[in-house]
Amino acid sequence: MLKVSVVVPVYNAGPYIERCAPSLLGQSLGEDEYEIVYVDDGSTDGSAEVLDRLAAEHPRIRVHHQENSGWPGKPRNVGMAMARGEYIQLVDQDDRLAPEALERLYAMGSRNGSDIVLGKMAGSMVGPSPVFRRSRERCTVEDAPLIETLTAHRMFRRAFLEESGLRFPEGYWRMEDLLFMVRAYPRAKVVSILADYPCYIWDRREDGGNNSEAEFDLAGNFRRLRTIIEALADATEPGELQDRLLRRLYRVELMRSVSEPFVVDAEDEERREAYELTRPLAVECFPPGVTAGMPAVQRLRATLLAEDRPEALREVARRVREVRPRIEVGAAGQDAAGRLSLRIRATLQHTGADPLALTGPLALAGTEADGYVLDPAFTEGIEGAEAAGGLPVPDPLSYANGEVLVHDLSRNVWWHAEDTLRPRVESLEDGRSHVVVEGGAVLDPLTLAGGEPLRPGTYEVWLGVQVLGVGRRPRLTPADAAQRVAFGPVPLGGTGRTVRVDWSGRGGQLRLVVTKPKPAPKPVAVKPPPTGLRRIYRGALRRLPPGPRKAVRRYAAAVRRRLPGRR
């Protein structure tokens, strides 16, 4: 049996076939160990002929032609049915695989008997994801944040797909990946995460032709979202796990239409239409535990949505948009091996320098436990029962976290640095409190790229912060310019590279610049000029006036000193 079948749906791919195909054909996995299955969905731009030519040139390629179905779902299903490999890797026509992707993904899947293997993604369409903070040989949706990544560009065990009956919706069906993955994750007994090698390259197309960026009808989008929510609920039992998984759909897919920037910037008619489509899903599709477990500001939005207060939601969005991070960097140092150590402290502020604060601790109404209340200074004037009196915050550290991120600019890859950032509640001088995220971070250029040394290039350092349901990803730029200490360049032992640490990024952002000096030119043996040339040179020199004659001799001597092998 073949190890892997790569399934690629194609429709009017144009030049992007030629960008994708070499990455599939150039895999480190043996040529006789995998196949490439292209399913042409009725292309009219010559893509079908290109695929047939590729198949004639490469025995690993198989092509199936069919009438247009309108979206990638059916061609994916057909390709999965044609597949002969133990595992199936789904790839879109305009994306690429890194050279060792199939070999590494298959090795991880086969040694663990994995149903799904998630490979790290890179490219201009990809941001950092907590799922790929570290590699995990075996996990499930119960003990890993898999729900945070719902793209279907993954490797699946073929028998798992067949046994579970997993297929994509056919015809025009936006968000088909979400529907497929919310059904797949709960059924998977073993999921593996390969986070130390960027496997899948997802770049924005120059012509704007990515399906994920295409226009869509809003009403149809919400109908499909309801189907996705119901599918996830059907695949899980009521309880804490189901609430956590549904919370992601509420937070990411539903709440965006009542949050900034959309609800602040959209035209009135567009905003009203989105609200009228959003609220029924919020009220009808989510059990109480979903919103009850949200951090403070997200729960405030959910409460106002349930109470049918669109203007209050818009005001919350305006205020949240003004929240800014404040970053302090202390005790920076770099050792002889190039490791950079930092102490970082981050808080969130609104209305100038006023912290996003809490009042308390105090006894919370309706409970026997003490807790906090979201600062009335933030909620003042927002219409709504809870908002007017301050929103109860039983656990201010719920979902609070921080992480140090490093962005490889030339390759569009995000890496997670080693850090000990942790949230805590800190008292303020005026009797209020706020959540502080602080701790240490180590940026080791010899291991930062998934355990491997950083390649030559420029790396920007960012800070991800989540506090009270407000997330920010600022450039790591301390507010105090005196904290911006530069280091290097320092040799990176055994690599022939050096690393320089500076704050020359936009706004004074921390950067690591890794360089590899060019090798010194090889010595070139220079033969003395023939005797005849020496005689001509000396004769010409004697005919010069004394001043120019001395200048020529000085210049000739300097040239001789610079010649390899001359002193």
Q: Which residue has the higher pLDDT, 143 or 360?
A: 143
Chain Cα centroid distance, residue 83? 30
Mean pLDDT, to the nearest integer, of 184-208?
Answer: 93
Token pair, residue 89, equals 């890797």
Percentage of the chain lying above the pLDDT 70 cut: 91
Return the closest-CA partner of residue 332 out of 247, 436, 440: 440
**Ramachandran sector of residue 88 (left: φ over 0; alpha: ψ -120 to 50; beta: rest):** beta
The pLDDT assigned to 220 comes to 96
Task: Encode pLDDT of 475-514 as tens digits.
Answer: 999 988 888 888 889 999 889 999 999 999 999 999 999 9
Give the confidence band of 91 by pLDDT, cuts at 50, 70, 90. Answer: very high
The pLDDT assigned to 85 comes to 99
pLDDT value at 213 more than 90: no
Task: Encode pLDDT of 44-80 as tens digits.
Answer: 999 999 999 999 999 999 999 999 999 999 999 999 9
The pLDDT assigned to 368 comes to 62
Return the closest-CA partner of residue 469 out of 242, 299, 264: 299
Mean pLDDT, to the nearest integer, of 362-385?
Answer: 80
Contact at 8 Å (CB) between 326 and 346? yes
Return the closest-CA partner of residue 66 out of 41, 84, 90: 41
Task: Encode pLDDT of 408-438 as tens digits.
Answer: 999 999 999 999 999 999 999 999 999 999 9
- The CA-based dihedral angle spanning residues 389, 391, 395, 396, taken in that order and rounded to the nearest 10 degrees: -100
Give the confidence band of 403 by pLDDT, cuts at 50, 70, 90. Answer: very high
pLDDT value at 519 more than 80: no
What would the 3-class secondary structure string for 311-357 be?
HHHHHHHHHHHCCEEEEEEEEEEECCCCCEEEEEEEEEEECCCEECE
pLDDT value at 212 more than 60: no
Chain Cα centroid distance, residue 231? 26
pLDDT value at 386 more than 60: no
Give the confidence band of 364 by pLDDT, cuts at 50, 70, 90. Answer: confident
Angstrom distance (rounded) from CA 48 to CA 237 = 45
The pLDDT assigned to 567 comes to 43
Angstrom distance (rounded) from CA 39 to CA 17 = 12
Measured distance between the N- and C-terminal CA atoms of the chain, rounded to whole angstroms = 67
Give SS3 for 506: coil
pLDDT, the chain, mean: 92
The pLDDT assigned to 353 comes to 82
Run of H or E residues at 273: helix 268-285
